[in-house]
């Protein structure tokens, strides 16, 4: 997923200020539009599980403990479907209908700027039993912006969701899984847990077919998995019925990310026996 870099103008200061750092703002490269519309252009840029796991391992070796989830409890038969980058109008409604027919509850990490324009879809996501997570307001690459703007990206989306559904989410997913220890500190200071993933079929890649998405997910799925998919992508929608059926045939049950955490007794870090899992790229 291509993650846009921010414009040169600064956002308003965060309601919970943190120490600023200098950042070089890199212009966004040209990219094709997201299949679902909206402001999120597409290009492969998501981090592989092995990269996330190595970063997690380095942090733990340095004694850094953080509110971060890469996987659930592998001893329990639960997995979580997650969808990033929405909402995308009618395409999001199509996804909700598919999930309704499949009797699956999922977690949607929404972009605040898009959610602000489509309150009816956010409300429907919640009314149908799904969970909402914060995917920042503009889908910027967080390491490329000053820390006070990271906080503002989270807080603007928080405020949008508070107005729309009367509640706030405790889950955040940084675009592309890109974060560092300073960003993680901002995430926690603003009351969030950082939610990453175990399985990424790169469903947004140009030319990716439903069969490829299905096979990439099924190649590595195990209990405790968090599956990264995207709202607004027709190939993903076409793949979902078979993905759900095959995962259920393995005896696994779909839950939201919060339920995955709760059933595991708290925030679960990636375990060493999962480090070999990679994305589909």
**Is position 230 annotated as part of the catalytic site?**
yes
Task: Dig out the tokens for 23 from the structure.
Answer: 């950042």
Query: Which residues lie below 8 Å from residue 268, measured CB to CB, with a gap of 6+?
Result: 69, 70, 71, 72, 73, 224, 261
Q: Which of 34, 199, 230, 231 is catalytic?
A: 230
Asked whether 82 and 109 are in contact (CB, 8 A), the reply is: yes
**Alpha-helical runs (H) found in the chain:** 49-61, 90-102, 112-117, 119-127, 147-165, 181-189, 210-220, 234-249, 257-263
Please check whether residue 241 is in contact with residue 115, taking contact to mean a CB–CB distance below 8 angstroms.
no
Of 56, 84, 85, 199, the active-site residue reads 84
Tokens read off for 238: 């076409």
130 tagged catalytic: no
Rounded to 5 degrees, φ, ψ at 234 are -55, -40
Nearest to 258 by CA among 193, 200, 189: 193
Ramachandran region, residue 89 (left: φ > 0; alpha: ψ -120 to 50; beta: rest): left
Q: How many CA atoms lie within 13 A of 281 on its CB side?
A: 16
160/167 Cα distance (integer angstroms): 10
- C-beta separation of 196 from 35 below 8 A: no
Quote the DSSP letter at residue 48.
Answer: P
131-134/107-110 β-pairing: parallel
Active site residues: 84, 230
């Amino acid at each position: 997923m291509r993650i846009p870099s921010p414009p040169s103008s600064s956002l308003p200061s965060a309601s919970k200020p943190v120490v600023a750092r200098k950042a070089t703002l890199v212009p966004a490269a040209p990219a094709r539009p997201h299949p679902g519309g909206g402001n999120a252009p597409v290009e492969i840029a998501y981090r592989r599980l092995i990269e996330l796991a190595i970063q997690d391992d380095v942090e733990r070796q340095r004694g850094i403990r953080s509110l971060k989830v890469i996987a659930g409890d592998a001893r329990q038969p639960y997995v979580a479907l997650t969808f990033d980058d929405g909402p995308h109008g009618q395409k999001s409604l199509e996804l909700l209908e598919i999930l309704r027919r499949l009797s699956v509850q999922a977690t949607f990490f929404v972009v605040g700027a898009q959610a602000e324009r489509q309150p009816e879809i956010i409300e429907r996501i919640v009314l149908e039993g799904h969970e909402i997570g914060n995917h920042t307001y503009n889908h910027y690459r967080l390491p490329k912006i000053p820390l006070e703007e990271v906080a503002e990206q989270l807080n603007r989306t928080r405020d949008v969701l508070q107005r729309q559904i009367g509640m706030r989410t405790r889950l955040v997913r940084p675009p592309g899984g890109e974060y560092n220890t300073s960003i993680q500190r901002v995430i926690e200071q603003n009351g969030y847990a950082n939610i990453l993933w175990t399985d990424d079929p790169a469903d947004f890649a140009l030319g990716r077919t439903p069969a490829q998405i299905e096979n990439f997910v099924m190649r590595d799925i195990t209990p405790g998995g968090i599956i990264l998919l995207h709202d607004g992508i027709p190939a993903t929608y076409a793949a979902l019925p078979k993905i759900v059926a095959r995962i259920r045939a393995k005896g696994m049950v779909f839950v939201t990310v919060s339920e995955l955490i709760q059933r595991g007794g708290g925030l679960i870090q990636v375990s060493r026996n999962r480090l070999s899992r990679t994305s589909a790229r």
